Homo-oligomer: A and B are copies of this chain.
């Protein structure tokens, strides 16, 4: 139980806080790169609101649009070029995790000695000076709005990997739950599975000793997502539901939740392979994998941890034999994801077959999060990953 904690991101939470956007940007300068995705912000009016806000404040902005759901390193590189050519002072990311992660890639690369963010991903150059990032969050899911990580995809190599560095943590994030009213049911459900998997991956599903208080707080965040996702699915404009999910997203993966735990985020490691080869929605991939991961790793050591999740968060009956309780927990989680959240339950539903399972297993055990194997609550070797993928077909 030894750790360092610091999270410097400033958050404006609630509606009508965008009046603070221009003043915050002007702290860094007058030239901004506006980064966004497929254009949903043009449909829902957010683009107009923000750009008129920038214009009225004398901020000159350049645009990088079309950031992919799994952001490509090539898109990052385009942003780097714009920043360098125009002496940009700050990046304004308006979107979900992919837009923010793309912005983080740009931020890390602009002052480096390469044009290609993938050189940083591969560790050829260090991350040093970075461009400040301000975010306007449009999707409750990744926690990227308050954390130090960026996940990027190289589709030439079929590798989804990333950057982790304190200097790419957003300086300021705007979180207005009302902005997420227009998020689709599918993205809402996938986002919620992503939030829960952060708790699972970074801390809750662990064999390391943690402070009791933190494990209990992790469960409260899980219960928040379990409670409010169905409400948001039924009524997309329920402010309480959207607010709780948004703040849960930011805290599930900001440093407070995993004080002292250092382990492989197993579910993310495996899911990144699915997205790298098949470009699927990250949270949905996690939802499919998680119950099968739990079923696969049940043994005397892991069962009590898994069963605790069931009893405390998923209404699984207490007092059972732990392995039986753990199996029922995996079933209850599957029911939550595939019935309550309404997500399709199989990789084959996403057009995935078993042809790449071996290479995926190899890559994830030897990529960003693995050292030949993946180690958290359980330790997985390549053959184990293949089995879990097969169970998920």
Complex formed: what's the CA distance from A17 to B7 in Å?
Answer: 19
Complex formed: what's the CA distance from A5 to B221 in Å?
Answer: 18
Interface flags for A206-222 (1: CB within 8 Å of B; 0: not) read: 00000111101100110
Q: Name the distance in Å between A231's Cβ and chain B's nearest Cβ.
A: 11
B residues within 8 A CB of A9? 6
Q: What is the number of residues of chain A that contact chain B, defined by CB distance less than 8 Å?
A: 39
In contact, B243 and A224 (Cβ under 8 angstroms)? no
In contact, B248 and A213 (Cβ under 8 angstroms)? yes
In contact, A11 and B2 (Cβ under 8 angstroms)? no
In contact, A10 and B14 (Cβ under 8 angstroms)? no
Complex formed: what's the CA distance from A8 to B243 in Å?
Answer: 23
Q: Does A342 contact B (CB under 8 A)?
A: no
Complex formed: what's the CA distance from A240 to B12 in Å?
Answer: 35
In contact, A5 and B1 (Cβ under 8 angstroms)? no
Q: How many copies does the complex hold?
A: 2
Q: Does A84 contact B (CB under 8 A)?
A: no
Q: A212-B224, A244-B212 are in contact. Are A4 and B13 (CB under 8 A)?
A: yes
B residues within 8 A CB of A216? 220, 223-224
Q: Does A338 contact B (CB under 8 A)?
A: no
Complex formed: what's the CA distance from A224 to B210 in Å?
Answer: 13
In contact, B6 and A247 (Cβ under 8 angstroms)? no
In contact, A13 and B2 (Cβ under 8 angstroms)? yes
Q: What residue in chain B is nearest A15 (Cβ atoms)? A: B2
Q: Name the distance in Å between A267's Cβ and chain B's nearest Cβ.
A: 22
Q: Name the distance in Å between A2's Cβ and chain B's nearest Cβ.
A: 3
In contact, A4 and B11 (Cβ under 8 angstroms)? yes
| Residue in B4, B212, B223, B240 whose CB lies within 8 Å of A240 | B212
Interface flags for A1-36 (1: CB within 8 Å of B; 0: not) read: 111111111111111110000000000000000000
| Residue in B3, B6, B7, B247 whose CB lies within 8 Å of A259 | B247
Residues of A238-254 contacting chain B, CB below 8 A: 239-240, 243-244, 247-248, 251
- Supply 13 A–B pairs (Cβ within 8 Å), ascending by A: A1-B13, A1-B239, A4-B10, A5-B13, A7-B7, A211-B244, A211-B247, A212-B227, A213-B224, A213-B248, A216-B224, A217-B217, A220-B220
User: A-B pairs with the 5 shortest C-beta distances?
Assistant: A2-B14, A6-B10, A213-B224, A216-B220, A5-B11
Q: A2-B13, A5-B13, A213-B244 are known contacts; what are 8 more A-B pairs with Cβ within 8 Å?
A: A1-B13, A3-B14, A4-B11, A6-B9, A7-B7, A212-B228, A213-B247, A214-B247
